[in-house]
């Protein structure tokens, strides 16, 4: 039976019941957050859309279970539910108001030292977010030692220019820009200070990034030198992710990298522990996260196919998504996306999700 005269009251009863469903990370109910849209009720079925803050949300099963528990058997006349999923990534209003670049958030991937697999993490994170349904850009801000092109299966060659802007090169669904496309890979590129600052700005402003990107991932060079400082001073960073290996020396360097971003008032989204296993051990990154009171986003194993995939331009989330490393990177991508949403929605720097389409 279709909704009749009492349809309005039943609609209100369903919405009231859904207002008891709490978003686990934002700690507010899904009705107040305007996440419930397009409710219709027919033949005992409540059909509605839940608008998530990221396509990579890891909580769909949680929402499904909680909505079912709130409605079926609790609201008279509702025998089953039918949920459709949509996503609307919040927009950092500092980007929207300050930069003429079509992106909703800017996330730096950083490390205190080289060799911890930071670029591997950046590449797999970007691809995993795309495969979850997000629009993602990746800037290789390691200006003098660009590795992103090789890890994404791309070679040297200048990008096309339309008007006065370069077009990003796309691989595995990710839009990329790197000095690796612009310079001879066999010759050194020696830059620092103002020249490095200008090069980083150009990767943002001199590229036609197209329609709104949900996430701009920026792969920084290791350490606390000119590049991280230039990025943080030039652009409103939504947050930084610190990559470390488990052993004490890497954790000590990661601690210094965190301190730099804290000095620059850049939120630390969390820590990723890379290359865990028998050789490097395990637990150092998680212990650092606990020590500093920030989220531990996950750990990835030391797996041979991660290294070979980087050499061959086949990220492990593409080549072996079901492997231990592939599963780990996909899980981390979900945690990162959720953390970005929480940081933005808890701050005053967000355009509400019901305003930006």
Question: 79-137 pLDDT, tens per residue?
Answer: 999 999 999 888 887 776 666 677 899 999 999 888 899 999 999 999 999 999 999 99
Confidence class for position 268, pLDDT limits 50, 70, 90: very high
Q: DSSP for 147-214?
A: -HHHHTT--S-PPPEETTEEPPEEETTEEEEEGGGTS-TTS-----HHHHHHHHHHHHHTB---SPBS
Q: Are strands 36-42 and 45-52 parallel, antiparallel or unpaired?
A: antiparallel
- Min mean pLDDT across 144-148, 158-162, 254-258, 316-320 is at 144-148
Q: CA-CA distance, 54 to 77, in Å (whole number)? A: 32
As a whole number of Å, the end-to-end CA separation of the chain is: 34
Question: 224-250 pLDDT, tens per residue?
Answer: 777 777 777 778 889 999 999 999 999
Helix (H) or strand (E) holding 332: helix 324-346
Helix (H) or strand (E) holding 291: helix 284-292
Predicted pLDDT at 139: 94
Write down all domains in the chain, each with its CATH number in brackets: 8-87 (3.30.300.130), 91-351 (3.40.50.300)
Which DSSP symbol is given to 277? B
Buried/exposed 231-242: b ≥16 CB within 10 Å, e otherwise:
bbeebbbbbbbb
Confidence class for position 187, pLDDT limits 50, 70, 90: low
Q: CA-CA distance, 253 to 296, in Å (whole number)? A: 17
């Amino acid at each position: 039976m279709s909704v009749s005269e009492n349809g309005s009251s039943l609609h209100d009863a369903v919405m009231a019941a859904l207002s008891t469903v709490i978003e686990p990370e934002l700690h507010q109910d899904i009705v107040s957050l305007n996440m419930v849209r397009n409710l219709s009720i027919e033949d005992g079925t409540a059909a509605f859309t839940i608008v998530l803050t990221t396509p990579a949300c890891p909580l769909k099963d949680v929402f499904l279970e909680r909505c079912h528990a709130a409605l079926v058997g609790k609201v008279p006349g509702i025998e089953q539910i039918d949920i459709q999923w949509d996503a609307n990534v919040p927009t950092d209003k500092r980007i929207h108001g300050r930069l003429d670049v079509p992106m909703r958030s800017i996330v730096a991937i950083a490390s205190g030292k080289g060799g911890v697999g930071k670029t591997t993490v950046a590449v797999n994170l970007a691809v995993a977010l795309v495969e979850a349904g997000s629009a993602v850009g990746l800037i290789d801000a390691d200006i003098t030692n660009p590795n992103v092109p090789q890890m994404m299966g791309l070679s040297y060659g200048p990008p096309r220019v339309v008007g006065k802007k370069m077009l990003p090169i796309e691989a595995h669904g990710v839009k990329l820009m790197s000095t690796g496309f612009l310079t001879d890979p066999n010759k050194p590129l020696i830059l620092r200070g103002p020249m490095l600052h200008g090069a980083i700005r150009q990767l943002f402003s001199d590229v036609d990034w197209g329609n709104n990107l949900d996430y701009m991932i920026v792969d920084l060079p290791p350490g606390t030198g000119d590049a991280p400082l230039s990025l943080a001073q030039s652009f409103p960073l939504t947050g930084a992710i610190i990559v470390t290996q488990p052993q004490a020396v890497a954790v000590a360097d990661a601690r210094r990298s965190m301190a730099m971003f804290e000095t620059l008032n850049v939120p630390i989204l969390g820590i990723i522990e890379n290359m865990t296993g028998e050789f490097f051990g395990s637990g150092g990154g998680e212990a650092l996260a606990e020590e500093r009171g920030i989220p531990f986003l996950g750990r990835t194993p030391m797996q041979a196919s991660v290294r070979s995939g980087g050499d061959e331009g086949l990220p492990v989330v593409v080549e072996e998504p079901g492997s231990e490393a592939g599963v780990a990177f996909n899980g981390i991508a979900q945690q990162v996306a959720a953390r970005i949403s929480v940081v933005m929605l808890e701050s005053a720097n967000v355009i509400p999700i019901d305003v930006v389409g």
